[in-house]
Structure 1
Amino acid sequence: MLDASVTASVVDGDLELAFTVRNTGDEPVECSFRDGQRVDAVAERDDDSERDADEVWRYGDGRLFSMALGTETIPTGGEATFDATWHDPDPGEYRVRVWLAATDADASAETRVSVA
């Protein structure tokens, strides 16, 4: 079983995300990936309204990832951390969701962040 968390911090005008996946199960978990991308993330305006938020950034958009298949094994009781950076976001309040881009394992987390 995989649990996930994400932390966000603004450093030199960039929003830096650290997405940590923990294996809380009794067996190692091997995650398979179609390419070099390990995580994806989206940021949406967080304006506390009931309507659907507008997506303003997606980590994978416009990025090139290696085209090689890959795997990551998370040992029993172990964890893996993946980083993603949103360069120079506009000031505002955002809801950020991050998830593992594996084809055979699910883990996701979200956080809210304020960019000044």
Structure 2
Amino acid sequence: MLARITVPLLAAAGLVFACGPRTPSPLAGARPKAGADHGVTSHVMVDTANGTVRFAIEVANDSPKRVELTFPDGRTHDFVVLDSTGREVWRWSEGRLFTQGMQNRLLDARDRTVYDERWQAPGSGRYTLVAQLHSENYPVRQQVEFALR
């Protein structure tokens, strides 16, 4: 008699446990960051030839597996130029419109992609470039100082 009650109760408890709400794991919300441990690396370049400054951020998948970069909207990257006092002089995304749709970019094993833009410098001086990759799962933010003569 006890077995007829216990077995269905245990089965129901197992079903409730398997399908019921769970406390989220602290690791569930963790997102990988760009870095060598995940195979995604980045490199920022500044080219100051011919009076026009060219900025580039190269994102490489150095791992043996394919990596998917996830972007919350159409803005995949951004470049910001700061003067020697830290004041923002130029922002690539300023005044631009971006799609609101989420997008993904697949990087095959040992593949790389480059995001580059040009800036017409107002004059000589010391500047800092802040390059950003707006990926949700592999965000990148790097600063590079450069001088124009």
TM-score bin, normalised by smaller chain = 0.7 to 0.9
Q: Among 14, 34, 37, which residue is 2:52 paired with?
A: 14
Instruction: Give ranges in structure 1 of 5+ residues lacking alignment.
Output: 48-52
What CA deviation, in whole Å up to 9, does each residue of 1:56-90 have, x standing for no partner?
22221111223332111112221110112223433
Match of 2:135 among 102, 106, 109: 102
Q: Is 1:86 aligned to 2:93, yes or no?
A: no
Percentage identity across aligned positions? 23
2:125, 2:41 → 1: CA distance? 28
If each structure's strand is expressed as a fraction of its own residues, which one has the higher value? Answer: 1
Task: Provide the alpha-carbon RMSD of the alignment.
Answer: 2.0
Q: Determine the structure 2 residue equivalent to 1:58.
A: 91
Q: What SS does structure 2 have at the residue aligned with 1:57?
A: strand
Offset, 1:15: 1.8
Read off the aligned partner of 1:64 and give its amino acid letter: L
Aligned length: 111
CA positional deviation for 1:12:
4.4
Please identify the structure whose Cα radius of gyration is greater.
Answer: 2
**Cα deviation, residue 31, structure 1:** 1.0
1:43 aligned partner, one-letter code: V
Which structure 2 residues correspond to residues 17-56 of structure 1 after superposition, within 5 A?
17-46=55-84, 53-56=86-89
Structure with the largest fraction of helix: 2
